[in-house]
Amino acid sequence: MEAAIQKAPKAVGRVRHLDHFAIPAMELDRAENFYTGVLGAKVIVRVPDAAGGVFLKIGRRHHLGLFAQSKATIPKRDTVDSFPRVAFVLSPQEFDKVSAKAKETCSVAKEIEEEGVSGSATSERGIGFIDSEGNILEIFRGKDENPIAVDHLHFDTLALDNGIRFYTDVLHLELIKQADGKAILAIPTGQALVLHQVNELCEVTKTSYEERHFAFSVSDDDFHAIVDKLHHNGLREADELGGGVHRKPGDLGTYFKDPTNGIYLQILNRDSTIFARKHGFPV
């Protein structure tokens, strides 16, 4: 008897991992020096456009973009409790070195504690600090000798329940905890997104910065499934930030906004390793 033909499971629109992010720089050279000097990032490629930008490899799995701003500025901040925030986990040795550099270099650097967010850290205590441009970063001591990696994000939102529905329905993240106006959503590979309910978005969140976005890697099938879900929910997606200009045949990518805070997100079917190789960076 012939074996029954098995249909491939329908893609649900699941992201693979949080891959990279791009943030604003008020002075590009200063920002590059900060990330190479404090966090040990390496230059992949500089962007030769009017505004100017640079992509930096950080660890093995991720890269980040720094982009000069022609209009918007980041207001002076004196607290690490604002948004958005990017958190990294480092090897124990790296953590000690970066902590010392951050405390020496940054105008604001303080010990923080986060409960139940990072599954890759040995402790829920870490260091929060403000980079040379006004962006907020966090670092935590990892359980092993793996190099620095992006571990979780903190976003503020005007509608927590709507934000949870968006990330669970459209990006298929898993809600693992909700309490006291905060929700922790699991991203595959142990990463997380933390949403915080606020009455008013912080100034940096609601300001439109050129090229700022946070990107997830997806499979081809999941890319199309996510796009379909965006359309079903009446959410616009497009290559508004210009990424499509350099795409090759087979490359899939698009941008859309978190509907509860306006931050741009990206999905694409390649990852940081492919991006680095394309620009001749050894990985």
Average pLDDT over residues 164-188: 97
| Cα 264 from Cα 151, distance rounded (Å) | 19
- Does the pLDDT value for residue 240 go beyond 90? no
In a domain, 8, yes or no: no
**According to the model, what pLDDT value does residue 119 have?**
86
Q: Examine residue 188 and state whether it is found in any structural domain, yes or no.
A: yes
Residue 2 lies in a domain: no
pLDDT tens for residues 111-140? 999 999 998 899 999 999 999 999 999 999
Instruction: Place 283 in a pLDDT band, splitting at 50, 70 and 90.
Output: confident
Query: 129 in a domain, yes or no?
Result: yes
The total number of structural domains in the chain stands at 1
Position 197 scores a pLDDT of 98
pLDDT at 212 over 70: yes
Domain that holds residue 138: 15-278
Residues 6+ apart with CB under 8 A from 203: 75
Residue 162's pLDDT is what? 98
Residues 6 or more apart from 162 whose CB is under 8 A from it?
Answer: 259, 260
- In CATH, what number is assigned to the domain containing residue 89? 3.10.180.10
Long-range contacts of 75-82 (CB under 8 A, 24+ apart): 75/134, 75/203, 75/204, 76/134, 77/108, 77/130, 77/134, 77/136, 77/204, 78/108, 79/108, 80/108, 80/109, 80/110, 80/112, 80/128, 80/129, 80/130, 80/136, 80/138, 81/128, 82/136, 82/202, 82/204
Beta carbons of 268 and 256 less than 8 angstroms apart: no
- Asked whether the predicted pLDDT for residue 6 surpasses 50, the reply is no
pTM for the complete prediction? 0.94
Is 115 a domain residue?
A: yes
The SS3 of residue 268 is strand
Look at residue 241 and tell me if it is in a domain: yes
Strand order across the 62-68 sheet:
42-47, 53-58, 62-68, 15-25, 213-218, 264-268, 253-257, 237-238
What residues form DSSP beta bridges with 218? 15
CB-CB contact of 265 with 255 (8 Å)? yes
Average pLDDT, the chain: 92
